[in-house]
Amino acid sequence: MGKPTGFMEIARRTVPYADAKKRLQTWDEFLEAADETLLRQQGARCMDCGVPFCQSDTGCPVDNLIPEWNDLVYRGQWREALDRLHKTNNFPEFTGRVCPAPCEGACVLGIHEPPVTIKNLEQTIIDRGFEEGWVVPLPPTQETGKKVAIVGSGPAGLAAAQQLRRVGHDVTVYEREDAIGGLLTYGIPNMKLDKRVVERRLDQMRAEGVKFVTGVEIGKDLTLERLRAENDAVLLAIGATRPRDLPIPGRELRGIHFAMELLTENTRTVVKTSSARTNGKPGWHTVPEDAAKAPIHCGGKRVLVIGGGDTGTDCIGTAMRHGCTAIVNFELMERPPAERASNNPWPEWPRIFRVDYGHQEAAAVFGDDPRQFGILTKRFLDDGKGNVKGVETIRVRFAGGKLEEIPGTEEIFEADLIFLAMGFLGPESTAVESLERDARSNVQAEYGRFVTSTEGVFAGDRGGEGCRLRDRRVLDG
């Protein structure tokens, strides 16, 4: 695949981010426009490696045919590359923007050289497909007469809905928010995933006949039992939205929020529906000045983000665009090495030091990376009026698989707003309280069948992969 000697002749280059200080003035996506020559050269780096680990279990979770479309990009056959990309992935415009790219971590070239820029290529293929008019509705040629209800309109629910509709089922997607898309719409900031990108795919699905119902929470506004009675099958694709808390002294103080409180309400505020698009259909556009109306605003505040993952980075990027006066990001783990450690061999996900967009932006404004590694929050500090004013911490290390506090490393960090971005524990119980759950609170379902304790009610597993497997089961159900 690619040019046989390309990986020896061409260095890895990624599509660059816009200048950090300039992009802080807008909520637009931060990647610059991709150069076709650059991308074709990067496609040429794909090796004829024999066993493409990039699309294996250690690489792409949706089994994308990566070497095939890398080769097609190298040859300038973009339409054919799009066809191969859509073979396994309903929404490459989403994964090409927000996926952490385990495919690149498993790239065979990555054993001794920087891996192929797979993620950039994926995004550019699908964006070009929309620009050229190659992405069109694919309605079914005949109807089956079966009705399927899908609870949750995130990527898993949408992927299942599209697949099921295309084989002729009557599909309705239920969403408790006022807009379709789940975390794609309100959970991921606009500068990372422009909501017009979500809307254009929803336009395709509407044209295919998928029905969307917003503002309805299953288990509250409509029972799961009634939904099951009115449909031949129900698929639960509700995600894991219950956040991990930090129950330490002072947690009740004002100014301490879960990360999604900031991200959801900020995105809801800065993107608006509009009928001013050229085709006259409702769509999204950003209203940057409305950020000041967000229920939680970081402007003029000292911000602390506890948690070092993607959600934490999104909080940093959001706080920076609000105009915070200082920002610190806590990570419990020690700073990872620049290169793979001996206990982290290829093709495992490389646990290495990375600088994401939010870290770049904070460093550009304040002069330093905002992260503090190997640090544990012991208690939140009270300003005497019920508001948080900071945290008391201690440095930690892992020894023998256990977390150890390091004596004499206690510190105080001042903060006016604190966001908890420490991951999620499982689904909220409203929609699934009548179903059996496993030890981690997920809906109990047999892998491969995905049937819950209620016949005809199916549970999602991990995003698009589960939906591809599951759509046949729901069809049979």
- CA nearest neighbour of 297 among 417, 387, 386: 417
Same domain (yes/no): 171, 156: yes
Domains of the chain: total: 3
- Asked if 155 and 62 count as a contact pair (C-beta separation under 8 A), the reply is no
Chain segment 227-247, per-residue pLDDT in tens: 999 999 999 999 889 999 999
| pLDDT for 19 | 96
Structural domain of 299: 242-423
| pLDDT for 286 | 66
Same domain (yes/no): 160, 279: no
| pLDDT for 434 | 82
Same domain (yes/no): 249, 342: yes
Domain membership of residue 138 (yes or no) is no
Same domain (yes/no): 334, 386: yes
Q: Please check the confidence at residue 186 and state whether its pLDDT lies above 80.
A: yes
Specify burial of residue 367 (Cβ count, 10 A radius: 0-12, 13-18, 19+): exposed
- CA nearest neighbour of 237 among 432, 64, 95, 439: 432
Same domain (yes/no): 288, 354: yes
Same domain (yes/no): 246, 375: yes
3-state secondary structure of 273: strand
| pLDDT for 273 | 54
Pairing of strands 302-306, 326-331: parallel
- Asked if 150 and 171 count as a contact pair (C-beta separation under 8 A), the reply is yes
Residue for token pair 């009610």: 457
* Residues of the chain by 3-state class (helix, strand, coil), percent to 5: 35, 20, 45
Instruction: Return phi, psi of residue 328, to 5°.
Output: -135, 145
pTM (2 d.p.): 0.91
Same domain (yes/no): 399, 415: yes
Structure tokens of 397? 């290390």
| Helix/strand/coil (H/E/C) assignment for every residue in 163-231 | HHHHCCCEEEEEECCCCCCHHHCCCCCCCCCCHHHHHHHHHHHHHHCCEEEECCCECCCECHHHHHHCC
Domain of 176: which CATH number? 3.50.50.60
β-strand partners of 148: 171, 233
Average pLDDT over residues 8-25: 94
Long-range contact pairs involving 432-439 (C-beta distance under 8 Å, separation at least 24): 432/219, 432/224, 432/236, 432/238, 433/219, 434/224, 434/225, 435/224, 435/459
| pLDDT for 466 | 36
Domain membership of residue 1 (yes or no) is no
Chain segment 399-426, per-residue pLDDT in tens: 888 999 999 999 999 999 999 999 999 8
- Asked if 360 and 353 count as a contact pair (C-beta separation under 8 A), the reply is no
Choose one of 131, 157, 174: the last residue of a domain: 131
Same domain (yes/no): 270, 402: yes
Same domain (yes/no): 222, 281: no
Residue for token pair 């150890």: 404
Chain segment 134-168, per-residue pLDDT in tens: 999 999 999 999 999 999 999 999 999 999 999 99
Structure tokens of 270? 């800065």
Looking at per-residue confidence, does 194 or 1 come out higher?
Answer: 194
Domain membership of residue 349 (yes or no) is yes
Q: What percent of the chain has pLDDT over 70?
A: 92
Domain membership of residue 136 (yes or no) is no
Structure tokens of 338? 């620049």
Domain membership of residue 471 (yes or no) is yes
Same domain (yes/no): 403, 270: yes
Structure tokens of 199? 């809307």
Domain of 39: which CATH number? 1.10.1060.10
Q: What whole-number distance in Å separates Cα of residue 170 and Cα of residue 147?
A: 5
| pLDDT for 46 | 94
Domain membership of residue 469 (yes or no) is yes
Choose one of 406, 423, 440: the last residue of a domain: 423
Q: Please check the confidence at residue 21 and state whether its pLDDT lies above 90.
A: yes
